[in-house]
Amino acid sequence: MSRDVLFQPLRVGRFTLEHRVVMAPLTRMRSTMPGNVPNDMNALYYQQRATRNGLIIAEASQVVPEGQGVPASPGIHSPEQIAGWKQVTSAVHSQGGLIFLQLWHVGRISHASHQPKGGQPVAPSAIAAQGMAMTRDFQRDTLPVPRALTREEIQALVPQYAQAARHAIEAGFDGVEIHAANGYLLEQFMQTRSNQRTDDYGGSIENRCRLPLEITRAVCEAIGADRVGIRLSPFGVANDSGEADPMPLYTHIIGQLNTMGLAYLHVIEPRASGAGAREVDHQNVPSACELFRSSWSGTLITAGNFTGDTASHVVSQGLADAVAFGRHFISNPDLPARIRVNGPITPYNRATFYGGGAEGYTDYPKMG
């Protein structure tokens, strides 16, 4: 199959991309501790992967200290973090690239070691997720029972996300992506398994979607809707997530988001759910981009175990407008060029995904 379709221009909000091979947000746990501050090595990593008018979605970054779930993940709430991110955005812009920041709050997928004063993680309801947490010192521990947020605390999250978006623009980012996927806080509000509230943030689909929609509107007001994307995982099971019947929930929220004029919607395909933790390729599962394409009139990005050929297929069929690549972008800093010429794809080393130094981070070569 011809891959030329991936190298046609694409309008994304206020920007025009020269190609449709997007770098997906990837947690790498290499910020400077204490403080979770982006550093010179992070800047080099992103610079290596930047292309002229190509889109990078930078790794998930906590909007408030309570939102942290793993060690050495960057934030976007302190002056030091903003200054550190300026190094990264300057490095990407030096190559002519575009870079958005993913805004993150992990909710119940945290541990007391990440929380201010060692407190409980927070969530819609006091329901522990199944699975293991990663502590501040890179150890494993059982995920704790979280504390249910009060209504006032929920409403305080809305301006906190808006402030994080303003901080991202101050740091030089071209836009932001709201992380409402993979079992983290905003998806915890959306799904019945993690939200059993009885107030106006729980119960009906409309109530469970209230917070993600309020946050998205506030972020749009803060920096402009044409600089805002959002990521959803309608069929995901990561971090003990998953809705028994996802279609009514995600049809509703995508329909509401569709009225906001966002830069893009980013969906994770179900065959890739959990891919950060292990090799997965769920077979005989629905296609998220195909199911929700008709509900979304704007730019649609899809992600999940794509190759150059399968990415070309979904774009040529009109099922998505661009395809985000994650793991292969780690080990192939020049991935768009390799896809274009059907060049060799360097295998990644999963053992170096999280934490560490330059090995498995900035030492992967380009072609030739």
Inside any domain, residue 360: no
pLDDT recorded at residue 1: 74
Q: Pick left, alpha or beta for residue 342 (phi over 0 → left; psi -120 to 50 → alpha; otherwise beta).
A: left
Q: How many residues does the chain have?
A: 368
Asked if residues 300 and 264 have their Cβ atoms less than 8 Å apart, the reply is yes
Reduced to 3 states (helix: H, G, I; strand: E, B; else coil), residue 297 is: coil
Q: Which of 33, 34, 63, 29 is nearest to 45 (CA)?
A: 29
Decide if 358 is inside a domain. no
The single-letter DSSP state of residue 124 is S
The answer to the question of residue 138 being in a domain is yes
Contact 134, 277 (CB under 8 A): no
Q: What is the pLDDT of residues 68-96, one digit of tens each?
A: 999 999 999 999 999 999 999 999 999 99
- The pLDDT score that the predictor gives to residue 119 is 96
Q: What pLDDT, on the 0 to 100 scale, is given for residue 270? A: 83
Beta carbons within 10 angstroms of residue 307's beta carbon: 13
Residue 29: CATH number of its domain: 3.20.20.70
Its pTM stands at 0.96
The pLDDT score that the predictor gives to residue 271 is 65
List of the chain residues with pLDDT < 70: 271-285
Catalytic residue from among 161, 184, 264, 364: 184
Establish if 120 belongs to a structural domain. yes
Residues 6+ apart with CB under 8 A from 243: 190, 191, 192, 193, 249, 250
pLDDT digits (tens, 9 = 90+) for 218-264: 999 999 999 999 999 999 999 999 999 999 999 999 999 999 999 99
Predicted pLDDT at 284: 62
The helix (run of H) or strand (run of E) holding residue 221 is helix 210-223
- In the chain, which ranges are E strands? 10-12, 15-17, 21-23, 55-62, 98-104, 122-123, 132-134, 140-142, 147-148, 175-180, 228-232, 264-268, 300-303, 322-325
C-beta of residue 136 within 8 angstroms of C-beta of residue 112: no
Examine residue 359 and state whether it is found in any structural domain, yes or no: no
Strand 322-325 versus strand 300-303 pairing type = parallel
Other residues' Cβ atoms within 10 Å of the Cβ of residue 19:
21
Contact 33, 70 (CB under 8 A): no
16 three-class SS: strand
Domain that holds residue 157: 4-352
State how far the alpha carbon of 350 is from the alpha carbons of 21, 132, 244, in Å. 22, 18, 31
Tokens representing residue 154 in the block:
């929920």
DSSP tag of 239: G
CA distance 328 to 21: 11
Q: Residue 117: left if φ>0, alpha if ψ -120 to 50, beta else—which one?
A: left
Name residue, tokens 């889109």. Answer: 55
Indicate whether 357 belongs to any domain. Answer: no
Q: 45 an active-site residue?
A: no
Q: Is residue 365 part of a domain?
A: no
Helix axes 151-170 and 210-223, enclosed angle (nearest 10): 30
CA–CA separation, 144 vs 132, rounded Å? Answer: 9
368 belongs to a structural domain = no
Task: Give the single-character DSSP code of 40.
Answer: H
Instruction: Measure the CA–CA gap between 272 and 263, rounded to whole angstroms.
Output: 24
What is residue 186's DSSP assignment? H
Q: How far is CA 50 from the centre of its chain?
A: 18
Which of 358, 323, 367, 355 shows the shortest CA–CA distance to 31?
A: 355
Q: Give me the number of domains the chain comprises.
A: 1
Stretch (H or E) spanning 210: helix 210-223
Q: What is the pLDDT of residue 283?
A: 58
